[in-house]
Chains A and B, each alone.
Chain A
């Protein structure tokens, strides 16, 4: 599904990613771990097409297509979703309305009719119930004044509405208390099937207790310095990052 080959990327002229290669197949969950500043969010932003992040080398293929030929909007419409580490606040734009715009943009792309507000409201209510979100979040402005945890839940709500092929969740677990973490993890698990894939960026083992990765990668200084299975996450938890970063 996703093929990253020797990816180099920079922001404001500084090279942050220095040769990342990663291959993800349908149905897989990959965890990406690593200390602060190792380039995890940069990788996520490159995948989602953020204009300030520039790929300077290598290539990324998504379902065989060159990702660099697509802008952010196009990538989203093709089925890529990023859950932001720090979702932006947009005062004045109604949350439910925003979700419906996003949902209908996909409908239009698929040559289907747009869903009317009433039907959409029903769909939205279902998904919100699953995430134990109160109805008032429909009427509030998009992320405006939301707590850290509420923003993260709102990201997962968007994921649930858009049903992406590839989701990249950037530290969705940070800012969530233990109950919210469980609810969000259950939500993510319920969206999984053999045709989609997930990249989980996280610092902590605890998310991986709920959402079990098939592969774990450790990033350091813009490189993947170690890859393994779930056991690697446990080892990291026990020994800290020094254990892998020191070798490099």
Chain B
């Protein structure tokens, strides 16, 4: 019995956000505030080519005319954009020659997060770009990828080394003025990851970026661009955590994916930003992200999988523009909200080419006082003959103070389309957990079984280790919310 108790309390102990520490590093941080001069200074700091500065200035001009969207089903005080610093980077003397020159504190931070970066310890089958506050600090396995022609590097480096590739594709999926937060990102982004997979290449390993916010009053604006050329394939993973602060941090990223003919990108995210205090709702990250992929070439495919477990507010709709004929888009999502978290997430599938297919599997889990909204749009253009969509949106409520909402929008200009939509709402109850316990199965294993049953179609899309992690993460977060 006493063993039993201690193991249960250990689990509860773990349940506090274990990534909530901060790292003491010397940083170079811009004073708070945003004007055209700040935009120019960021560009200058990074010695960017002229086109990039023009891109930023255009975005900034656009942003000034825009207002933050009010339609998401989330509540928060309006953000003072002059009270944020738009650039913060761990101080380093010059361009890094090797990992040895990265601040050891930063290296230790990533190691603590389970992402060792140095040569001896780095993960064998995953190439990692580690982004600390606004700047990429280390990228592993670069050489090995280069051997097969794959470019994987920080965006700032891509702008130096491959400016023509960046210029050709940046902003072609998410235009500078697409929405308020993407416009802001386009003006002030500081880093992110760049991936180019050349034709006829299957990436020999998973490629991933790990984002870490460290500074309290810095916004994090990364920019990711992935291009997968003809007949190529890449699986990309994204992870993130942030320290525990009483204030809110803004994270407004933009991710653009492009597939050429017959190519496929699989993009998986496990999002675990700090969600704010569970009781009071104080602090936490505002995760306002624009993710969009364009299936440009015929027969290409983009698949988004996301497991959203953190952030005070999540507002994101990883989407697919199905431009080529016979292209397909997929969206698999698990969004967990507990405490006072709010999520308004879903996808947009824009069918333009013929015989385009999309499928949407969304699982929302809502506990405590949290609210969870699925918002999805399926739009079929007039030339998209034989387009098909299947959508399934399931919600699970834990306790009786949480809420779930589903807003599917369907718009079609072609009569040959087939669209199917299914939805359900269920509950994880104390009675169910008691049933497991009365068969000798621990509460923890019971929650895990119920949740993994609920999420199984999504989890099976994730790489194995990620799926196991994601499942554990959900279980820990729900442990004291049930009942």
**Chain A nearest Cβ from B442, distance in angstroms:** 6
**Chain B nearest Cβ from A54, distance in angstroms:** 14
Give complex CA distance A73, B437 in Å. Answer: 5
Q: A92-B453, A93-B450 are in contact. Are A101 and B441 (CB under 8 A)?
A: yes
Q: A73-B4, A91-B453 are in contact. Are A49 and B431 (CB under 8 A)?
A: no
* Chain A residues within 8 Å of B434, by CB: 50-51, 72, 88
Q: A88-B431, A91-B426 are in contact. Are A73 and B441 (CB under 8 A)?
A: yes
Interface membership of A132, Cβ < 8 A: no
Interface membership of B82, Cβ < 8 A: no
* Chain B residues within 8 Å of A62, by CB: none
Interface membership of B119, Cβ < 8 A: no
* Chain B residues within 8 Å of A52, by CB: 430
* Chain A residues within 8 Å of B40, by CB: none
Q: A70-B1, A73-B4 are in contact. Are A88 and B438 (CB under 8 A)?
A: no
Q: Residues 71-95 of chain A: 1 if any B CB is under 8 Å from the residue's CB, otherwise 0?
A: 1111111000110100110111110
**Chain B nearest Cβ from A207, distance in angstroms:** 22
A76 near B435 (CB under 8 angstroms)? no
A73 near B449 (CB under 8 angstroms)? no
Give complex CA distance A76, B435 in Å. Answer: 11
Q: A74-B1, A74-B4, A88-B432 are in contact. Are A158 and B439 (CB under 8 A)?
A: yes
A84 near B4 (CB under 8 angstroms)? no
Give complex CA distance A158, B435 in Å. Answer: 12
Q: A50-B434, A102-B439, A105-B441 are in contact. Are A88 and B453 (CB under 8 A)?
A: no
B4 near A87 (CB under 8 angstroms)? no
Q: Residues 51-75 of chain A: 1 if any B CB is under 8 Å from the residue's CB, otherwise 0?
A: 1100000000000000001111111
Give complex CA distance A93, B443 in Å. Answer: 14
Q: Residues 450-483 of chain B: 1 if any A CB is under 8 Å from the residue's CB, otherwise 0?
A: 1001101000000000000000000000000001
Interface membership of B429, Cβ < 8 A: yes
* Chain B residues within 8 Å of A124, by CB: none
Q: A102-B441, A105-B439 are in contact. Are A88 and B1 (CB under 8 A)?
A: no
- The B247-276 residues at the A interface (CB cut-off 8 A) are none
Interface membership of A162, Cβ < 8 A: yes
* Chain A residues within 8 Å of B440, by CB: 73, 76-77, 102, 105-106, 109, 162
Interface membership of B22, Cβ < 8 A: no
Give complex CA distance A51, B450 in Å. Answer: 19
A49 near B432 (CB under 8 angstroms)? no
* Chain B residues within 8 Å of A101, by CB: 436, 439, 441, 445, 449
Q: A71-B4, A72-B434, A92-B456 are in contact. Are A162 and B439 (CB under 8 A)?
A: yes
A90 near B441 (CB under 8 angstroms)? no
In the complex, which of the residues B1, B429, B439, B445 contacts A76, with contact meaning CB atoms closer than 8 Å? B439
Interface membership of A48, Cβ < 8 A: yes
**Chain A nearest Cβ from B445, distance in angstroms:** 6
**Chain B nearest Cβ from A48, distance in angstroms:** 5
- The B165-199 residues at the A interface (CB cut-off 8 A) are none
B4 near A48 (CB under 8 angstroms)? no
**Chain B nearest Cβ from A51, distance in angstroms:** 7
A88 near B435 (CB under 8 angstroms)? yes
Interface membership of A98, Cβ < 8 A: yes
Q: A88-B431, A92-B450, A94-B453 are in contact. Are A72 and B426 (CB under 8 A)?
A: no
In the complex, which of the residues B1, B437, B450 contacts A90, with contact meaning CB atoms closer than 8 Å? B450
* Chain B residues within 8 Å of A162, by CB: 439-440
Interface membership of A227, Cβ < 8 A: no
In the complex, which of the residues A48, A90, A93, A109 contacts B438, with contact meaning CB atoms closer than 8 Å? A48
Give complex CA distance A192, B4 in Å. Answer: 30
**Chain A nearest Cβ from B235, distance in angstroms:** 26
Give complex CA distance A101, B1 in Å. Answer: 20
Interface membership of A38, Cβ < 8 A: no
Chain B residue at smallest Cβ distance from A78:
B440
* Chain B residues within 8 Å of A81, by CB: 438
B449 near A72 (CB under 8 angstroms)? no
A88 near B429 (CB under 8 angstroms)? yes
B454 near A90 (CB under 8 angstroms)? no
Sample of 17 more A-B contacts, CB < 8 Å, known A92-B450, A105-B439, A162-B439: A48-B438, A51-B434, A84-B435, A87-B435, A88-B429, A88-B431, A90-B432, A91-B453, A91-B454, A93-B453, A97-B449, A98-B436, A101-B441, A105-B441, A105-B445, A106-B440, A109-B440
**Residues of B near any A CB (own CB < 8 A):** 1, 4, 426, 429-432, 434-443, 445, 449-450, 453-454, 456, 483
10 contacts between A and B (CB under 8 A): A48-B438, A49-B438, A51-B434, A69-B1, A70-B1, A71-B4, A72-B434, A73-B441, A91-B426, A93-B449
Which 8 A-B pairs rank lowest in CB-CB distance, beginning with the nearest?
A: A92-B453, A76-B440, A102-B439, A72-B437, A105-B440, A93-B453, A77-B440, A73-B437
